[in-house]
Amino acid sequence: MKVLALSGSLRTGSTNTALLAAAAELAPDSMEIRLFEGLALLPHFNPDLEHEINPAVEVWRSALRNCSGLIISTPEYAHGIPGALKNALDWVVGSGETVDLPIALFNASIRSRYAIESLKEILRTMAGRIVPEACIALPLLGKNPSVNEIVTDPSLAASIRTALELFKAAITK
């Protein structure tokens, strides 16, 4: 089972990206989690160009078409999702790659509720299938943990493993 992970942050030392990398290390044996690394390469969405071939957009759409599920972890900026993440989602509204795609939302801050609620609304509008039982919020804000620190923390690792097992079960239903 191939799962795509998308960090809404472009920051090099992003806690959200570290969280997703940790999830990749903690994934069940039958689940392969691959981090999408082309978010910064996507051009600004323009409906006039939606049907033209753009290599970065094609890589993004192909990654979504070839996965069994999507995990998104994003920071909250001004009570919303980062523009780069919204841009990526805009590129697949019309092409439909998220229709009925199982989606889990990981949150690196238990305080970032507005972004997650906004993201849920966007994904529901795009007909994505959010798996509530696989969505988690972890208290990582301000700690800047490394991937290894997340993986080796018993409480964090247990939360991530449980969410991934629930996500796997929802995908295979």
Structural domains of the chain in order of their starting residue, each with its CATH number: 2-172 (3.40.50.360)
In DSSP terms, which residues pair with 34 in a beta bridge?
A: 4
- For 70-81, what is the mean pLDDT? 96
pLDDT surpasses 90 at 111 = no
User: Tens of pLDDT along 117-131?
Assistant: 999 999 999 999 999
What would you measure as the largest C-alpha separation in the chain, in angstroms? 49
| Region of poorest pLDDT, from 43-52, 55-64, 92-101 | 43-52
Report the relative pairing of strands 32-35 and 136-137 from DSSP bridges: unpaired
Cα angle: 77, vertex 7, 75; to 5 degrees: 20
In DSSP terms, which residues pair with 102 in a beta bridge?
A: 129
- For 89-96, what is the mean pLDDT? 96
pLDDT for the residue 121: 98
pLDDT for the residue 57: 98
Q: For residues 11 and 3, give the distance between their C-alpha atoms in angstroms, rounded to a whole number.
A: 22
The answer for residues whose C-beta is within 8 angstroms of residue 153's C-beta and 6 or more apart is 145
In DSSP terms, which residues pair with 130 in a beta bridge?
A: 103
63, 36 contact by CB (below 8 A): yes
Calculate the average pLDDT of the chain. 96
User: Tens of pLDDT along 134-148?
Assistant: 999 999 988 999 999
pTM of this prediction? Answer: 0.97
Q: For residues 149 and 139, give the distance between their C-alpha atoms in angstroms, rounded to a whole number.
A: 13
Task: Please state the φ and ψ torsions of residue 54, each to the nearest 5 degrees.
Answer: -125, 125
pLDDT surpasses 90 at 110 = no
